[in-house]
Structure 1
Amino acid sequence: MAAPIRMTPARRIAFALLWLGVLAVAGWAIGAHLQLSGDLRRFMPSARTPAQKLLIDELGEGPGSRLLLLAIDGDAPATLAAQSQALRAALATQPAFKLVANGAGLGLDAVPERLRPYRYLLSPTLDAQRLDAGYLREQLDSRVQDLGSPAGELIEPLLPSDPTMEMLRVAEAWQPAQAPQTLDGVWFDPAGKEALLAVETRAAGFDPAGQEQAIAAIRAAFERARGASPARLTVSGPGAFSLEIGGRTQREASLIGTIDSLLFVALLWLAYRSWKAPLIGGLPLATAGLAGLGAVACIFEGVHGITVAFGFTLIGVVQDYPIHLYSHQRPGLSPWASARSLWPTLGTGVASTCIAYLTFFVSGVDGLQQLAVFTIVGLATAALTTRFVLPALIDPAPRDVAQSRRLARVWSALARWPRLGVASVSLLAALALAVVLFVPGPFWQNDLAKLTPVPEAALARDAQLREALGAPDVRYVIAIEAKDAEAALQASEGLLAELPLLRQRGAIAGYDLAARYLPSARTQLQRQQRLPEPQALRAALDAAVAATPFRGDAFADFLRDVEAARHAPPLRPRDLAGTALAASIEGLLREREGRATALVSLTGLHDPEAVDAVVRRHGGQLLDLKQASESLVAEYRGRVLTALALAGVLLALAVWVALRSPRRVLRVLAPMALSTLLILAALRGFGVELNLFHLVSLILAAGLGLDYALFFDHAGDDRDEQLRTLHAVIVCSLTTFMVFALLALSSIPVLRAIGATVALGVVFNFALALLIVREPAAMATVEEGADAQP
């Protein structure tokens, strides 16, 4: 094998700059093609039950995830009402919003002129009444009275085409069952102090960029509508919460990252007395991150934001690789030789960890598979660059940390600690397992709401606005599955007769379903058949008009509309595209390839059993979305646990192949296994309910434990090598502990779970590696003449 090229200081600087340049170009190329995704469904297992499928749909594209609740307060009601109208007018013209409602409801403006003749097919009037002379006479008499009332100016323009005011009846039927009170023509809270609006964005709830743009547009429009008024705007809902979570996470992550970087630089400078050590040591981590991102971008359609965040957290262990190389340097041994001697141990740890992450591919979850690719490629890249590239940048004449008297005194003190045998390890494992199994309180955290960092006050405010707006229950929903939209509408129409009875009995406070707005084609055809022939309708109208002040030719438009309705094809959901009515139906009638689902939203559900019994008679199901989310989390956890169990087996096999000694294999694996139990026991002892983030973090903690144990095993009974290993592991564990200890102090539950788990893992793995793996040194004392080094 040819000797490596001799690297002068100038060449090392040039090579470092070249490496940085390659990273910069690679970063630019990856950034130009990288498509980040925020779709949480990528990190969800395949839905199996109807409730789980609906939950996944709602998390992704459901109207509930796109709904923003607005409240304007701080001024006189009349002023707030005017601002509400101005805000609604400004937002309604913007393409970022599908629906902007503030009390106008689904009135006449919800239906364009081309669809007005359908009023007789949409209204239930003809189900019990025909358009005969008696009915028309009764309606015309009512119109005469209406024209003499204050509402006459509104009624008069509608009379020629709609003397029965059927369109107004339809619009009234479309009003929400639990609509808030109306003051000055807009919605207000019960106290009359806040003007309320409901806004549905086109951007999905998981699209942070789209939600940010929509909320920015809302605030800008409000500033224009407010003028000099002291009024205030509150924006709530999933989109607003996602921005709050993202902002807080970014701020905390930036602060923690800055502190960590400063501490990392300071610690490596203190450890190696070289300003180059932290700079050069960061190159493998940067290379690993870019390699992982590039691999995921090439293999998958889009890279999830969680993959990036978690991936960089999990490959954070690669910062240990240069540290091991630094600490094992000594005079007379070139960096290349040092890297070559460490490679079997380093390679075993990296290969074992990569094999463990391969098990994520059996989970069947796209997000976990992305995470596996990112981590495996990142770890392998960092290890290879540490072995074959980094030595070119290291000063070939370092100090030997094994000659440090201070480190020798630390090692001598640690050497007096009793080594743990099989009995001690078994006892500790039994005690930890007892704590894990028998500490009272819930073991798993299945409620996803507990992972949100949204403040309690904001959640309470959101609940208050939902109640004031009469928003539907977010937990229960009725679902009716059918082969297509027509069958779903027909099935849900059966509930229209039963739901009012449930409301009268107090089982529910309100309901909403697509059939309220759009009857099935079958129902429309039935109503169409009840429309009279032109001659019969003309005769009936003439008889009715004869006894009124109206002229005989005043209702020609009415006759044309009825004739158009007699020959019109039934109105389908696709015919409503581009109308305000479409937004209401879209959330209640879901169409997918080969199936359709009619949903019934509920308000004030007080008797789930009674509702479920009625729904089942009509072929539907009352779905509990909270239970569905918990079952989905449990199923996800089961897959992760299966992957972890398989990872443990594969990791043990990898270590066996590398060490080929039962005693050494057990000694290397014992600290990692016992640390895992101790971490779980500590978390359970403090009353922490375990979630998925704890489980994923356990993999990182296990990788650290394996790394520490392998290097202490590699040191054997050589005292100098033991001191170098101790130095490396101390620096590694301190840098890792600082990062995750700060995360453990975060206000973000996810970051806190990761930080606490890994910080505990660092402490336990370090201590157990010393107590179980270290060998008694062959040389008992340090030579008195050794030069003292820090």
Structure 2
Amino acid sequence: MGARARLAHALAWLALLLAAGWWVAQSLSFSGDLRRFLPDARTPEQKLLIDELGEGPGSRLLLLALSGDNREALAARSQAIGEALAADERFVFVANGASAGLDAIPERLRPYRYLLSPTLDTQAFDAGFLRDELDARLQDLGSPAADLVEPLLPSDPTLETLKLAEAWLPAHAPQTLHGVWFDRAGEQALLLVETRAAGFDPDGQRQAVDAIEAAYAQARGDAAGALEVSGPGAFADEIGARTEREARWIGTVDSIGLILLLLLAYRSWKIPLLGVLPLASAGLAGLAALVLLFGDRVHGITIAFGFTLIGVVQDYPIHFFSHQHAGLSPWRSVRALWPALATGVASTCIAYVTFLFSGVDGLRQLAVFTIVALATAALCTRFLLPGLIDPAPRDVAGSPRLQALWHRIDTLPRPRWSLLAVALVALAVVAWRPGAFWQNDLSKLTPVPEPLLQRDAQLRAELGAPDVRYVLALQAADAQAALQASERLRPSLDALVDEGAIDGYDLAARYLPSAGVQRTRQQKLPAPADLRAALDAALADSPFRTDAFEDFVADVERARQAEPLQPRDLDGTPLAASVSGLLVDAGAHATALVSLSGLADVAAVARVAEANGARLLDLKQASESLVADYRTRILGALALAALLLVGTVWIALRSPRRVARVLLPMALTTLLVLAVLRGFGVELTLFHLVSLILGAGLGLDYALFFEHAGDDRDDQLRTLHAVIVCSLMTLLVFSLLALSSIPVLRAIGSTVALGVLFNFALSLLVARQPAAATVAADAARR
């Protein structure tokens, strides 16, 4: 094929890639829901954990701390920010301690205060009670609280609104200074906001954080001060920004390093350009498969992780480039390499095929992306790339430096029994190294820096947030039954508080009593005529006018005639956030949750829960069991993959000796990497397991090509050149990942980098056959 034909071929390929890229860009949308990378929940604790991770109010809470100025200025900023965010549709709820007055209950719910307040459980709206309340109001009007009380008097002389607002305050609410919450030291104004976007909706959380920062900038003006934002959404935003920064510099260094390496290895400016085409084709094919099979459910982690895993496809064109030389047609060259290349691709894909049966949507997406990408890259190398290659390039086998290196390698002794000794030592380290083998704690896997987690814990303590590990759960047929069950539990919970087993608790019935309780209170409300008569008696000899409380009479009548308040009636109010976080209505069943604070006696709480038909859920244990279930599925998939891989290599090579030469380096490398990680006290995670699969795939490729070279000296030189270039490229990419500040990337990078080093050395020593020239020289010496 002439130069002009090769150029036309390249332009056509590039045009096809551009068209495919445009279609994928138009069709692909991402999901940020991390639950897609979790296995199906099997226990109540796991189901609750997964629901809370994605949609629960706990995942949507952001904690704000204002500092750097005097208290009056900070309080004013807190008020301004609270008002701005309360009017923003991106937020469901904003609390800063300033809502304990008139705004505690929205106007449309005010008449319901008599059904929500416990006053009627012990009192009746008779003349004696109303007289005492009116006398108290006279005193209030002469006190500093007059400005707060006076607007409420006509409709609420018993101040049920304020009673409810005070009752709904957190058990350990922050102190109030200048009308807003402050920390114990009085140096930081505190706010608590709930976003409408879920905690793991990166775009929604980014918009929420931007809105908070804009409101703060507006409130602060040119004055001094600082804003801290903490919580899952803020962490997601921080992680995204940091990942983007690190990806930018790692990608830049990678690109420059890879281009320089290819230029140095092949002394041709065309090679870096040609090598990109199979990789780009692989990525676009993988993305197209995800669009077709998963639509708008494609997870961003699938894309990021998938492109890391398909880095192995760069090896395919490199082997082709290194084996091409004058006198050999590119098509003939690639046909000769195809058995080894196809076996490597098939074996690597097998490992990911098993992920299709893992029961985890994220892993299924990762499997589809990786399998399609690997197959596409291999097919492009086999059927498209040869049409672009110069048929008479420089033969790398003629390089003096490479020949000298090959000679030194060829003089190395072939390991035999020493490999067994190395394997036994590695196995001993893996088996007997002290410390936990697996990392099950989700908090240790988070990419959030430890100082931010500690600061978040401090802010939660200041705001009186409940214990996030233990929660009581009551299952019922519907929401009303769940509320009733939690109301029956309250006396036992009060007893636990008195005993010191817990400091406090919170439950949905505290804000929204069951319909039965509301109806009981409703029946105690007097009819208008009776209430007016009681008021007339109470107002005798009172400075209040006899017609001053007609709004009160009207509100009581509305409450007496109203249907009981339901959870859906709270939508759009601050109460909705409090109730939805503690009452989970799944339609077919409902769960009432009781959050606990200051839990000191787990056993006592568990006994009370069992006696009242509730369950004490340990969410930390649930998260660990979820991780363990996940790992069990992955390990089962890997065991099946190992069997299929051995079968594939056996079918390709048909010789026990050849199969052993190919599989031994990969197996021993996996054991050595595990030994190094365990030796340094690293607790293994899912990311280490997936990285071991990638490392095994690389090792298999190296061993296959060394074995495929046979005993021909020039072919061995060309294979050595290709494997060196492949190893250096992969080592560069994953060594940079190992330097990342993000634990996930660091685990992947360090694991694969170790695998590259061990696989290269062991493939050279085990899979490579003695060259014919060396064998002949040895025979002559004998």
- Shorter-chain TM band: over 0.9
The corresponding residue for 2:367 is 372
CA-CA distance at 1:38 after TM superposition: 1.1
For 1:214 and 1:278, how far apart are their aligned partners in 2?
43
Task: Report if aligned partners of 1:480, 1:599 keep a CA contact under 8 Å in 2.
Answer: yes
From 350, 355, 358, give the equivalent of 1:360. 355
The corresponding residue for 1:420 is 415
Q: Cα 1:153–1:424, aligned 2, differ >3 Å: closer, same or farther? A: closer
From 238, 242, 245, give the equivalent of 2:236. 242
From 337, 341, 352, give the equivalent of 1:342. 337
- The aligned amino acid for 2:568 is R
Instruction: Kindly indicate whether residue 27 of structure 2 is the aligned counterpart of residue 33 of structure 1.
Output: yes
CA-CA distance at 1:547 after TM superposition: 4.1
The corresponding residue for 1:93 is 87
The corresponding residue for 2:245 is 251
Instruction: Kindly indicate whether residue 658 of structure 2 is the aligned counterpart of residue 664 of structure 1.
Output: yes
- The aligned amino acid for 2:134 is L
CA-CA distance at 1:88 after TM superposition: 1.0
SS of 2:76's equivalent? helix
Instruction: Kindly indicate whether residue 300 of structure 2 is the aligned counterpart of residue 305 of structure 1.
Output: yes
The within-5 A match list for 1:697-708 is: 697-708=691-702
The within-5 A match list for 1:621-632 is: 621-632=615-626
Instruction: Kindly indicate whether residue 245 of structure 2 is the aligned counterpart of residue 232 of structure 1.
Output: no
The corresponding residue for 1:177 is 171
Instruction: Kindly indicate whether residue 520 of structure 2 is the aligned counterpart of residue 551 of structure 1.
Output: no
The corresponding residue for 1:605 is 599
Task: Report if aligned partners of 1:106, 1:580 keep a CA contact under 8 Å in 2.
Answer: no
Q: Per-residue displacement from partner, 1:507-548 (whole Å, max 9, x unpaired)? A: 222322111110000111111122234443333332222242
Instruction: Kindly indicate whether residue 500 of structure 2 is the aligned counterpart of residue 483 of structure 1.
Output: no
- The aligned amino acid for 2:73 is T
SS of 2:156's equivalent? coil
Runs of 5+ unmatched residues, structure 2: 778-782
For 1:152 and 1:242, how far apart are their aligned partners in 2?
45
Q: Per-residue displacement from partner, 1:142-169 (whole Å, max 9, x unpaired)? A: 2232233333343233222222222221
Q: Per-residue displacement from partner, 1:163-217 (whole Å, max 9, x unpaired)? A: 2222221222112211100011000111111111111111111111111111111
The within-5 A match list for 1:334-483 is: 334-421=329-416, 423-483=417-477
SS of 2:213's equivalent? helix
Task: Report if aligned partners of 1:106, 1:581 keep a CA contact under 8 Å in 2.
Answer: no
SS of 1:187's equivalent? strand
The within-5 A match list for 1:139-288 is: 139-288=133-282
Q: Cα 1:138–1:707, aligned 2, differ >3 Å: closer, same or farther? A: same
Instruction: Kindly indicate whether residue 771 of structure 2 is the aligned counterpart of residue 780 of structure 1.
Output: no
The corresponding residue for 2:748 is 754
State which drifts further: 554-563 or 764-773: 554-563
For 2:759 and 2:210, how far apart are their aligned partners in 1?
48
Instruction: Kindly indicate whether residue 510 of structure 2 is the aligned counterpart of residue 516 of structure 1.
Output: yes
For 1:254 and 1:239, how far apart are their aligned partners in 2?
23
- The aligned amino acid for 1:322 is P
SS of 2:190's equivalent? strand
CA-CA distance at 1:782 after TM superposition: 12
Task: Report if aligned partners of 2:506, 2:594 keep a CA contact under 8 Å in 1.
Answer: yes
The corresponding residue for 2:780 is none
State which drifts further: 739-748 or 772-781: 772-781
For 1:666 and 1:199, how far apart are their aligned partners in 2?
61
Task: Report if aligned partners of 1:59, 1:205 keep a CA contact under 8 Å in 2.
Answer: yes
Q: Cα 1:506–1:312, aligned 2, differ >3 Å: closer, same or farther? A: same
For 1:533 and 1:181, how far apart are their aligned partners in 2?
41
Q: Per-residue displacement from partner, 1:583-610 (whole Å, max 9, x unpaired)? A: 2212111111312121222222222222
CA-CA distance at 1:42 after TM superposition: 0.3
From 17, 21, 42, give the equivalent of 1:23. 17
For 1:31 and 1:650, how far apart are their aligned partners in 2?
36
The corresponding residue for 1:326 is 321
The within-5 A match list for 1:129-148 is: 129-148=123-142
CA-CA distance at 1:731 after TM superposition: 0.9
User: Structure 2-normalised TM-score?
Assistant: 0.97
CA-CA distance at 1:752 after TM superposition: 1.0
User: Structure 1-normalised TM-score?
Assistant: 0.96
- The aligned amino acid for 2:317 is P
For 1:439 and 1:113, how far apart are their aligned partners in 2?
65
The within-5 A match list for 1:627-646 is: 627-646=621-640
CA-CA distance at 1:781 after TM superposition: 9.2
From 298, 309, 320, give the equivalent of 1:314. 309
For 1:513 and 1:522, how far apart are their aligned partners in 2?
17
- The aligned amino acid for 2:256 is L
Task: Report if aligned partners of 1:110, 1:579 keep a CA contact under 8 Å in 2.
Answer: no
Q: Per-residue displacement from partner, 1:437-491 (whole Å, max 9, x unpaired)? A: 0111111111122223333322222122111111222222222221211111111
Task: Report if aligned partners of 1:483, 1:594 keep a CA contact under 8 Å in 2.
Answer: yes
Q: In percent, how many aligned pairs have the same letter?
A: 69
For 2:101 and 2:654, how far apart are their aligned partners in 1?
79
Runs of 5+ unmatched residues, structure 1: 1-5, 784-790
Task: Report if aligned partners of 1:492, 1:618 keep a CA contact under 8 Å in 2.
Answer: no
What RMSD in Å do the two structures reach over aligned CA positions?
A: 1.7
From 290, 314, 335, give the equivalent of 1:296. 290
SS of 1:176's equivalent? coil
Task: Report if aligned partners of 1:314, 1:375 keep a CA contact under 8 Å in 2.
Answer: yes
- The aligned amino acid for 1:763 is L
Task: Report if aligned partners of 1:281, 1:322 keep a CA contact under 8 Å in 2.
Answer: yes
Q: Per-residue displacement from partner, 1:2-35 (whole Å, max 9, x unpaired)? A: xxxx2x2223223223322221221121111111
For 2:351 and 2:453, how far apart are their aligned partners in 1?
39
Task: Report if aligned partners of 1:744, 1:753 keep a CA contact under 8 Å in 2.
Answer: yes
From 471, 479, 487, give the equivalent of 1:493. 487
SS of 2:772's equivalent? coil
- The aligned amino acid for 1:487 is A
Q: Cα 1:489–1:106, aligned 2, differ >3 Å: closer, same or farther? A: farther
State which drifts further: 319-328 or 733-742: 733-742
- The aligned amino acid for 1:28 is W
The corresponding residue for 2:647 is 653
For 1:79 and 1:113, how far apart are their aligned partners in 2?
30
State which drifts further: 578-587 or 678-687: 578-587
The corresponding residue for 1:786 is none
- The aligned amino acid for 2:264 is L
For 2:706 and 2:341, how far apart are their aligned partners in 1?
12
SS of 2:436's equivalent? coil
- The aligned amino acid for 1:323 is I
Instruction: Show structure 1 runs of 4+ deviating over 6 A.
Output: none
Q: Cα 1:402–1:754, aligned 2, differ >3 Å: closer, same or farther? A: same
State which drifts further: 21-30 or 33-42: 21-30
CA-CA distance at 1:342 after TM superposition: 0.7
Task: Report if aligned partners of 2:181, 2:191 keep a CA contact under 8 Å in 1.
Answer: yes
